[in-house]
Amino acid sequence: MNNLVSVPKNGSLVKTDSDTNFPTWSNWLDEIFNRDLPSVFNSNFNTGMTLPKVNIKETADAYLVEMAVPGLKKSDFNIDIDNQVLSISTEKSEENEQKGENYTRREFGYSSFKRTFSLPETVEEDKIKASYNEGLLNIHLPKKEEAKQKPARKIQIS
């Protein structure tokens, strides 16, 4: 229980057990640090491009990576493999200029992202393929032959 001291107009000290007069320091600090920050601190300052969402699916003979990245072209992507790390990145800059009788307006925009994934040793790096269609980047990561899932078989007892 907190004991707060309030000073009335006549100057005498009166003890109170009430938390209604003033918040405690810890309550005040909690209020500052635990409240939601304005969205301007959470958003991308450039053009609003956020880190794209990725779905990864494993099948018997491959891993499939799907990334939703609408509004880009195939030439905007850089896909690299180095030391069993798959990197997918893009950088895009735009510059627009409008001229009128009494004004010139220039706007610059820049957006980029980079996603990296550690690949298992079972991926056959030489046979990786990527495609981009209607805002969806697909990367096919085939498994090595020895890592492919074998079908179940029945074993006879002798």
Distances (CA, A) of 105 to 43, 45, 47, 111, 137: 25, 20, 17, 20, 34
Domain with CATH 2.60.40.790 in the chain: 44-146
Is the pLDDT assigned to residue 14 strictly greater than 90? Answer: no
pLDDT score, position 87 = 93
Which amino acid does the sequence have at 92?
A: K
Report helix, strand or coil for 141: strand
pLDDT confidence of 8, banded at 50, 70, 90?
low
**pTM of the complete model:** 0.58
pLDDT score, position 136 = 94
Cα–Cα distance measured from residue 90 to residue 77, given in angstroms and rounded to the nearest whole number: 5
Burial letters for 19-44: b for 16+ Cβ neighbours within 10 Å, e otherwise?
A: eeeeeeeeeeeeeeeeeeeeeeeeee
Topology of domain 44-146, CATH: Immunoglobulin-like (2.60.40)
What phi and psi, each to the nearest 5 degrees, are found at residue 33? -85, -20
